[in-house]
Each structure stands twice: as C-alpha cells, then as structure tokens.
Amino acid sequence: MMTNPVLELRDITKSFGALTATNNLSLTVMPGEIHALIGPNGAGKTTLIQQIYGALKPDSGQVLLNGRDLTGLSVPARIRAGIGRSFQISNVLMDFTVLQNGIIAEHARLGQSFRFLQPAFSNPQLIDGAIAILDRVGLSSRADTMVSDLAHGERRMLELALAMAASPSLLLLDEPMAGAGPDDGQRMTEIIDGLRGDVAILLIEHDMDAVFRLADRLTVLVEGSVIAAGTVDEISTNQAVKTAYLGDED
C-alpha cells in the first residue's frame, strides 16, 4: 500500500494498577476513512482516545499522526498538529452564543487569540469564519442563541463543528450520538457521513445501526486488546466478535 496512514498506533500499553486498559494495541486509520472502534463497556475505548488526544500518557508505545511522533506532546500541541475531538459529554462553551463559540474557535485556529485591543465578537472576518464553521453542521441559523438554551442534539452538532473548525486531519468522535433522540441521531449520522473523505475519523459509538452505516472499517476492542479488525462485512460474520461482543446484546 502506498498511501500512508493518518493515524498509526504502535504497541500502545496503558495500565491503571492491576488493570490493563490498553494492551499492546496497534491500529491504523487511513486518510478519509471512517474507522469505528467498538467493544463492550470497559473495553478501553475512551482510554485509547485519551491517549491519542494526549490527556493520558501511554506506559509504552507510540502515537503517530501523519508519520509524526506525538508521544510527549501536550493536548494543545496535538490539536495544532491536526487532531480534532468531540467528547462523550457535550463539551462546548455554555455561557456564550453559538456564534461566539465559533468566533473563539476561529481566532484560536488563526493563532490570533493573544490580541488585546479589537473587540472579538464584532470582528467581521472572525464572524465570517465562524459562520463557515457553523454552516458545516447547519447551525448558522441558530447563531445568536445562547448555547445553554440549545437542545441537546444541537449542542452535539456545535461540538462537532468546533472539533472540525481547524480542519484537522484526524477527528476523534467519542459517542457523538450519546443521548440524542432518533431524529438528532439521524441528522448526526448524515453530517458525519458528509465529512467522509474530508477528514479521517476515529469513531466510538454504541448505536450499531449508525456504526454499520458509517464505518469503512471496524476495530473490535475487548479488555484493551484488538480481537478483530476489518470491514463491516468481515466483522459482522466474525465468530469471535459475535461471542465476545455482539452476542451479548441478544
């Protein structure tokens, strides 16, 4: 294969005391693909995301983004290297309007956050940039709404927009449908589907319909180890997966 992976994890291991949350795990995410990470609760999915994001440090192993070793870099440095993230619990700026969220993301993207004189929220360039960020998830019509007044699903969309603001090469989505109703889940699935090709996505999601619809490839995690990896068809017929994970649901 000639294309290089966007994300490459090499032999990542992370233990908390006697519990091995990530066990000698290797994984690649290719450009433009949606790669779903599934597994039962406690399989170590979020712990793995945290290590890619930089909030947790692996005991051993390497995280490579576009061939660059991220090991040892802080969270903000990894964001600037090209990672975007949405969290399990909505993580947006609640005390601001939707547009203001976009504006702050926009000047952070431009590296202009250390400017002291011009008012930020009335700057036409920043407003244009923010609208572009919000347009991606169809939220620009809600620009002047306080985030605390948004519906849950809209907050999830806003978070996705903020994660995409800096045009990252890798997007980490930790249960983007969590807590969303069927309509919101449907919309979110469409929006994520629309991002396919623009950005490589590592997706954790419990909604299996969404996973099977979105994922180009799947990695199944059980107790910190990869038990299977492949396309949707390969995984859905994999006996080990059926017994270890999918079988549990029936």
Partner 1 sequence: MTGLLKFFGLVHAGISDNKFLWLLIAGFAVFPIVTQLVDLPFWNDVAMRIMLLGMAAMGLNLVLGYGGMVSFGHAAFIGIGAYCVGIGQYYGLMNGWAHILLSVAVCASLGLVIGYLALRTTGIYFIMITLAFAQMLFFLFVSLEQFGGDDGMSIDRAEFLLIDLYEPLRLYFLIWVMLAIVALLLMFIVRSRFGVTLRAIKSNESRVEAMGLVPLHFKITGYVISAVICGLAGSLFASWQEYVSPDIMHWTRSGELMIIIILGGLGTLAGPLLGAIVFLLLEEFLPLMLGALVPAYAENWMVLFGPLLIMVVLFGRGGLVGLIDSKILPHLGLGKTAVK
Q: Which residues bind partner 1 (CB under 8 A)?
A: 74-76, 79-80, 84-85, 87, 91-96, 100, 103-105, 107-109, 112-122, 162-163, 165-166
Angle at which helices 182-195 and 152-164 pack, to 10 degrees?
A: 10
Output the smallest distance, CB 123 to partner 1, in A: 8
Cβ distance to partner 1 smaller for residue 108 or 232: 108
Cβ distance to partner 1 smaller for residue 84 or 185: 84
Q: Which of 215, 158, 197 minimizes the C-alpha distance to 37?
A: 215
Cβ distance to partner 1 smaller for residue 25 or 171: 171
Q: How many CB atoms lie within 10 A of CB 129?
A: 19
Contact 185, 177 (CB under 8 A): yes
Cβ distance to partner 1 smaller for residue 19 or 75: 75
| CB-neighbour burial class of residue 157 (10 A; exposed 0-12, middle 13-18, buried 19+) | buried
Output the smallest distance, CB 64 to partner 1, in A: 19
Cβ distance to partner 1 smaller for residue 41 or 122: 122
Output the smallest distance, CB 167 to partner 1, in A: 12
Output the smallest distance, CB 161 to partner 1, in A: 12
Residue 244 is given by DSSP the state I
Q: How many CB atoms lie within 10 A of CB 167?
A: 11
Output the smallest distance, CB 105 to partner 1, in A: 5
Output phi, psi for 43, to 5 deg. -75, -15
